[in-house]
Amino acid sequence: MPTGAETLLSVDDLRVWFYTDSGVVRAVDGVSFQVHAGETVGIVGESGSGKSVTAKSIIRLLEEPARITAGTIRFRGQDMVTLGEEAIRDIRGAEIAMVFQDPMTSLNPVLRIAKQLVETMTAHKRFNAAEAHQRAVDLLGRMGIANPGSAITSWPHQFSGGMRQRVMLAMGFSNQPSLIIADEPTTALDVTIQAQILDLLRGLNQSLGTAVILISHDLGVIAEMCSRILVMYGGEVVEEGSPADLLSDPRHPYTWALLHAAPRLDEAGTGDRRLTTIEGQPPDPRAWPEGCRFRARCPFAITACADHPALLPVGENRLSRCWVTQQGGALHPPEVSRSFTERAPAAAERLLQVTGLERHFALPKNGFFDKQRVLRAVDGVDLHVARGETVSIVGESGSGKSTIARQIMRLDTPTAGSIRFEGQEIAQASQAAIRPLRRRLQMIFQDPYASLNPRMTVGQILEGPLRLHNLVPNGADARRRVAELLDLVGLPATAMQRYPHEFSGGQRQRISIARALAVEPDFIVGDEPISALDVNIQAQIINLMIGLQERLGLTYLFIAHDLAVVRHISDRIYVLYLGKVMETAPAETLFAQPLHPYTTTLISAVPIPEAGKAGRRIVLQGEIPSAANPPSGCRFRTRCPAATARCAQETPALREIEPGHQVACHFPGAVEAVAR
C-alpha cells in the first residue's frame, strides 16, 4: 500500500440479511474494513462465511430477498447504501468493477467478445465506439491473448477458461476503475493459468494503481497477492493483519485451523498423511450461537468464549475476535489422538496395466475433399497401478487426464492400446464381458451434484448399486447396509431420507464416495474429486479417503491439478501433457528433483501460503496447443524455455533416468528446479 494513500472504500458495521420463508438469514452481520488507493486486500473464509455477499453489497448487486439492513459503504466519501440506482450504475463498472469466479456465466454467449468489451466502455461515455474498439484490442493484447485483433471477433465458447478469465479482466479494467473486486478469479483454473492470471492482476495493480479486493479460499494465492488479509467466519471478520503476521502467527483459532488444513508443497512428508481439520459444520446464519461463533468447533475454547468477543487489537496493525489471544494466550496445537496405521509399501502385484493407450476423435472436415481431421486426446500412454497404491495423474486441462479415466473405466472404448485389470484384457471387451467387473471398478466424479439423481433420496441412490449387483437379499438388509455406508463416510443414518440438494458440497462428495464403496470395489478412480471444495472440506475428504484405503485396502487412481494435494496423498505420479506422459516418478522424488521442464513449471506455479516465500516462478506463455494439430517433435516445445531445434525434429522417448523415474525430454533437468 502506498504511504499516505487515501481511504478509497470504507465499510462500517455492514449487515445484509436474507428474508426467506424459513427465517431471516443474517449472511453478513457487522463487517467493517477499509481499502486504500492502490492497495490489495484479501478476504478468506469457508463457503457461507459472507465473503461474496459482502463483495456484492459494495456495488449493490444484491437482489431480493437480500437487503442491507444496517451499516454504511462509503466510496470516495459517497454512501453506496443510500445512492439512487442511476448513481450506482454510473459508479458500477466505471469506478468499481467486479470479476466473477465463472467467466462463462458472466459473458453473454450470443455476443462476440468485441461487442461485450465495446459496450462496457461506451455505456459510461468515456470512449466513442472507434476508441473503445481500439482500446479493447489493446487490452486483450495486454492480457496476454495472442492475435488480439482477430481474437476479439471470437465467441466466448471459442476461448478456453483461462482466456475467458482474461477477457473478464480486460472488461473489468476497461474503464480504468479505482477499485476492482475479484471473487475467486482463479479457483477453477489450472495452476499454470492461475499463475498467469495472478501475475497479470499484480502487474495491473502496480502499473495502473488500481486497488484490488481479492476473495479466495486459497491462502497461497492470498499470501502472494495481498498486503492485508481479512478472515471471515460466521458473517463477521474474525481476524485482520498483514500476510507476514497472520500466516506465520495466526491470532484466531479459525485462521490457525485453515492454515493447518491445507497441504503444503514446501513441506516434506512425515509419514502421517492426515491433515488437521475443523470438525463440525459452520453455524446456521438463521440463528447465530451465543458467544463466539467458532466456539463449538474450536480446540482452544475457554470459559470466556460463552460471551461474544469484539474485534480488538492484538498487536501492531492486527485485529482478532478471540478471547484467548486478546488475553495474551497463544494458539499451541492441541494433543490429537489419531488411529493412524503406518503405511505399508504397495504390493508388487499390478492391479492395473495400461500399455500404448490411444483415444482419437474424428472431427468434421473443413471441406468435402479435405482429409479427415483427428483430435488425439490420448496418444500412446503407458501406466500401471499396484494393489493398495495411490497413483496420481496431473496436467493442465486438455492434457487427456479425464479421457484416460474414462477409458480405464470403459465408459468409452479406446482407439488402440491395452488395458489389463488383474490380468484380464478389457480395452476392447464387450459391455457384457465388462459388466461383471463393474462392481470392482468405481469412479468418484468432480461434481457430485451433477452425478447424483436430484429426484432420488440418498437412501435410494445408495440402494441402487446394492440391488443391481444382488448384494442384499431384501429391503431391510439394504437399509442396514446404507446406514453402514453413511457411517463409514461420516454422515448420520437420517441422511438417507434427504435429497442431494439438502447437503453441502462436502457432504455430497461424501455421498458420492459412499456410492462408490457400496459395491465393495478394489479400484477407485477419483476425477478431480476435491477441486471445487473449501480447504477444510477438502482436508476432510482427503482424510476420509486415506482412512478408507487403510481399512479396506483400496487402490486409487487420483486425477487432480492441485499439486500440493497430489504430493500429500500419492505414492507415484504421472505428469501428462497433450495426451502423452512427460515424466513419472515416486511422489517425493518428483517434487525433490523434477527433470522435465513442464513438471518444473507446474511446481513453480503453486502458491505457498507464507508471505515472502515464493520461489522463482516460471510462467508458461500462451495456451496448451490443440490436440487436433499437435506440435512436431516434443509436444511441449512451443512453450518450453529450454527448447532447441532438436526438440522440433525429434520426439523424445520416455526413458528411465533412475529406478522408477522416467522422463520424456532431450535435456532432462535443463530448467533449474525451483527451490521452495
pLDDT class of 261 with cuts at 50, 70, 90: confident
Q: Report the pLDDT value the prediction gives residue 368, as an integer from 0 to 100.
A: 75
Please tell me the predicted confidence (pLDDT) of residue 613: 54
Which residue from 88, 51, 425 is spatially nearest to 238, judged by alpha carbons?
51
- Tell me the C-alpha distance between 56 and 174, whole Å: 20
User: Which CATH architecture fits 348-440+521-676?
Assistant: 3-Layer(aba) Sandwich (3.40)
Q: What is the pLDDT of residue 596?
A: 95
End-to-end CA distance of the chain: 26
Average pLDDT (258-285) is: 75
Q: What is the pLDDT confidence band of residue 266, given thresholds at 50, 70 and 90?
A: low
Residue 674's pLDDT is 43
Question: What does the pLDDT look like over 623-642, one tens digit per residue?
Answer: 678 888 899 999 999 999 88
Provide the pLDDT for residue 675. 39
pLDDT digit string (tens) for 3-22? 557 899 999 999 999 998 87
Q: Is the pLDDT of residue 673 over 50?
A: no
d(CA 414, CA 267): 39
Tens digit of each residue's pLDDT (9 = 90 or more) over 203-253: 888 888 889 999 987 788 888 889 999 999 999 999 999 998 998 889 999
Q: Which residue is listed with cell 507476514?
A: 244
Please tell me the predicted confidence (pLDDT) of residue 508.
86
Q: What is the pLDDT of residue 271?
A: 54
- Rounded Cα distance, 514 and 458, in Å: 10
Does the structure show a pLDDT above 70 at 406? yes
For residues 446-450, give the mean pLDDT.
78
- Those residues whose C-beta lies under 8 Å from the C-beta of residue 576, and which sit 6 or more positions away, are 381, 393, 394, 395, 399, 400, 401, 404, 582
pLDDT at 3: 53
Pick 501 or 644 by higher pLDDT: 644
Q: Does the pLDDT value for residue 63 go beyond 50?
A: yes
DSSP 15: E
Q: What is the mean pLDDT of residues 58-74?
A: 92
**DSSP bridge partners of 36:** 7
**Exposed / middle / buried, residue 313 (Cβ in 10 Å: 0-12, 13-18, 19+):** exposed
Task: Please tell me the predicted confidence (pLDDT) of residue 24.
Answer: 92
| All structural domains of the chain with their residue ranges | 348-440+521-676
Question: In one letter, which amino acid is 493?
Answer: A
The rounded percent of the chain whose pLDDT value lies above 70 is 93
Segment 482-507, tens digit of pLDDT: 999 998 888 888 889 999 888 877 78
The predicted model gives 510-530 an average pLDDT of 89
Could you tell me the pLDDT band of residue 340, with boundaries at 50, 70 and 90?
A: very low
Q: What is the pLDDT of residue 203?
A: 84
Please calculate the CA angle 152-154-156 and round it to the nearest 5 degrees.
Answer: 110
3-class DSSP string for 464-521: HHHHHCCCCCCHHHHHHHHHHHHHHCCCCHHHHHCCHHHCCHHHHHHHHHHHHHCCCC
Element containing residue 28 per DSSP (H, E): strand 23-36
Integer Cα distance of 387 and 347 in angstroms? 6
pTM, rounded to two decimals: 0.84
Provide the pLDDT for residue 428.
93
Over residues 40-69, mean pLDDT: 91
Rounded Cα distance between 118 and 95, Å, is: 17
The Cα 472–Cα 482 span in angstroms is: 11
Q: Tens of pLDDT along 589-613?
A: 999 999 999 999 888 888 877 655 5
Q: Which residue's C-alpha cell is 468435402?
A: 368
Mean pLDDT of 377-382: 94
Share the mean pLDDT of the chain: 87
139: its cell numbers: 487490452
